[in-house]
Chains A and B, each alone.
Chain A
Amino acid sequence: MSREESAFEIWDVHVHLAGIAGQTPADRLEKLLEYADRLGIRRVCVFMGTTFQYDPSPEEMAQANREVRQAIERFPDRAFGFVYLNPNHLSASLDELNRHVADGPMVGVKLWVAKRCADPALDPLVERATELKAVVLQHTWLKTTGNLPGESTPQDLAVLAGRHPETTFIAAHSGGNWEYGLRAVRPYGNILVDLCGFDPTAGVTEMAVRTLGAERVLFGSDAPGRSFATQLGKVLGADIPADAKRLILGENLRRILRPILQQKGIRL
Chain B
Amino acid sequence: MTGSENTWTLDRRAFLISTGIMGLAQGGIALANMCQEQETCVGGLEAGGIQSIVDTNVYLFRWPFRRVSDDSTEKLVARLRRYGVVEAWAGSLEGVFHADMRGVNQRLVEECARWSDLLRPCGTIHPGLPDWEEDFRHCVDDCGMKVLRLFPNYHGYSLDSPEVEALLLMAAKRGVLIQIVVEMEDSRTQPYLFRVPPVDLAPLERLLKRIPDVTIMLLNAHRTCSPTQLRRWMESGRVFVDLNMLEGVGGIERLVETVPVERVCFGSFIPLFYFAAAWLKMRESRLAPEVQQAIATDNARHLLEGVLTG
Contacts and interface: CB of A to CB of B under 8 A. Distances in A.
A176 B283 contact: no
Contacts of A20: 249
A234 B274 contact: yes
24 contacts: A33-B2, A37-B2, A37-B8, A40-B11, A78-B1, A141-B188, A144-B191, A199-B189, A202-B68, A202-B69, A203-B67, A203-B69, A227-B281, A232-B276, A233-B279, A234-B274, A236-B38, A236-B276, A237-B275, A237-B277, A242-B20, A242-B32, A245-B20, A249-B21
A246 B21 contact: yes
Contacts of B15: 39-40
Contact of A35 (B31, B69, B191, B249): B249
B274 A237 contact: yes
A1 B245 CA distance: 36
Contacts of A145: 187-188, 195
A73 to B, nearest CB: 14
Contact of A241 (B35, B251, B277, B279): B35
B143 interface: no
A94 to B, nearest CB: 33
Interface in A32-84: 32-35, 37-40, 42, 75, 77-78
Nearest to B275: A237
Interface of B: 1-3, 8-9, 11-13, 15-16, 19-22, 31-32, 34-36, 38-39, 66-70, 185-192, 195, 245-251, 270-281, 283-284, 286
Contacts of B16: 5, 8, 40
B245 to A, nearest CB: 7
A216 to B, nearest CB: 19
Contacts, number: 172
Interface string A243-254: 101100100000
A233 B277 contact: yes
Contacts of A234: 274, 276-277
A42 B249 CA distance: 16
Given A233-B277, A245-B21, A223 B192 contact: no
A179 interface: yes
Nearest to B41: A236
B248 A227 contact: yes
A225 interface: yes
Residue of B38, B70, B245, B280 most packed against chain A (CB within 10 A): B280
A22 interface: no
B249 A202 contact: no
Contacts of A232: 276-277, 280
Given A30-B2, A40-B15, A224 B271 contact: no
A100 to B, nearest CB: 23
A144 B2 contact: no
B281 A144 contact: no
B21 A177 contact: no
Contacts of A141: 188
Nearest to B186: A199
Given A234-B276, A236-B38, 9 more contacts: A30-B2, A39-B15, A201-B273, A227-B247, A232-B280, A236-B19, A238-B69, A242-B34, A245-B38
B248 A38 contact: no
A229 B284 contact: yes
A10 B36 CA distance: 21
A74 B3 CA distance: 14
Interface of A: 1, 4-5, 8, 10, 19-20, 30, 32-35, 37-40, 42, 75, 77-78, 141, 143-145, 176-179, 198-203, 206, 223-234, 236-243, 245-246, 249
A128 B46 CA distance: 51
Given A19-B248, A203-B66, A243 B31 contact: yes
Nearest to A205: B274
Contacts of A78: 1-2
A225 B247 contact: yes
Contact of B31 (A38, A177, A179, A242): A242
B283 A224 contact: no
A225 B20 CA distance: 27
A171 to B, nearest CB: 15
Contacts of A201: 185, 189, 272-274
Contacts of B275: 233, 237
Contacts of A199: 185-186, 189, 245, 273
Contacts of A227: 246-251, 277, 281, 284
Contacts of A77: 1
Contacts of B12: 5, 10, 40, 42
A230 B277 contact: yes
A199 B281 CA distance: 13
A140 to B, nearest CB: 13
Contact of A239 (B13, B21, B69, B270): B69
Contacts of B19: 236
A229 B283 contact: yes
Contact of B188 (A1, A177, A231): A177
Contacts of B39: 236-238
Contacts of A229: 251, 277, 280-281, 283-284
B9 A242 contact: no
